Copies of this chain bind each other. A is one copy, B any other.
Amino acid sequence: MALTLYDLEVSGNCYKVRLLSSLLGIPLELKPVDFMAGAHKQSPLIELNPFGEVPILVDGDVILRDSQAILIYIARKWGGEAWLPTDAASMARVAQWLFVAGNEIARGPNDARLHDKFGYKLDAMLARQKAARILTLMNTHLTSHTWLALERPTIADIACMPYIGIGHEGGVPLDAYPAVSAWIARIKALTGFISMPAL
């Protein structure tokens, strides 16, 4: 049975799943979701994910929501120890950045883009303040580290990159963060890399 992704092309969260799958050479059957019609909030998708969000991954009887959790699933099932190692310290170091993707980046550059590009009613000024804070932290970190979590690319990089890379759609350009820009360029040079609109 095919690995199925309920997908939205302009979603950075869906893109990170497509990107990891491509890097690992795993075929995904993409099912585009009619987001403007609210298909993700209605049956049958709302039964697959009661949170009413995409992406949703279906692999036989395994149904998963949350893009970071889906990255964990794909990395554990098909990535061996490469993209998410199982020793305690390495796994926790990767996880630290997965939670940055799900919090600081989601409430920073992602929220700013949701406001500017999609008209979401939220505090765009606050989102841009949060974006500046996390980008400053990441730029400092990436000045002395090649990759976010370990000495090689992991799902930490895949989880954090998309909404940083398309932040200019939310008034969050990267001009002031050269180490972040260089890190994105390194990700783009990985074998099997695929892009998304505006990246």
Contact = CB atoms under 8 A, between A and B. Distances in A.
B106 A91 contact: no
Given A99-B68, A103-B102, A106-B103, A86 B92 contact: no
A62 interface: yes
Contacts of A96: 64-66, 69
Q: How large is the interface on A (under 10, 10 to 19, 20 to 34, 35 or more residues)?
A: 20 to 34
A123 B126 CA distance: 11
Contacts of A103: 102-103, 106
A194 to B, nearest CB: 22
**What is the copy number of this chain in the assembly?**
2
Contact of A102 (B65, B74, B102): B102
A99 B66 contact: yes
A108 to B, nearest CB: 13
Contact of A72 (B65, B95, B106, B140): B95
Interface string A55-93: 000000010111011101110110000000011110111
A137 interface: yes
Contact of A91 (B51, B73, B87, B98): B73
Nearest to A68: B99
A107 interface: yes
A70 B93 CA distance: 9
A125 to B, nearest CB: 13
Given A50-B140, A123-B123, A73 B92 contact: yes
Contacts of A68: 95, 99
Contacts of A100: 66
A56 to B, nearest CB: 11
10 contacts: A64-B93, A64-B96, A65-B96, A68-B95, A68-B99, A69-B95, A70-B92, A73-B91, A76-B88, A86-B86
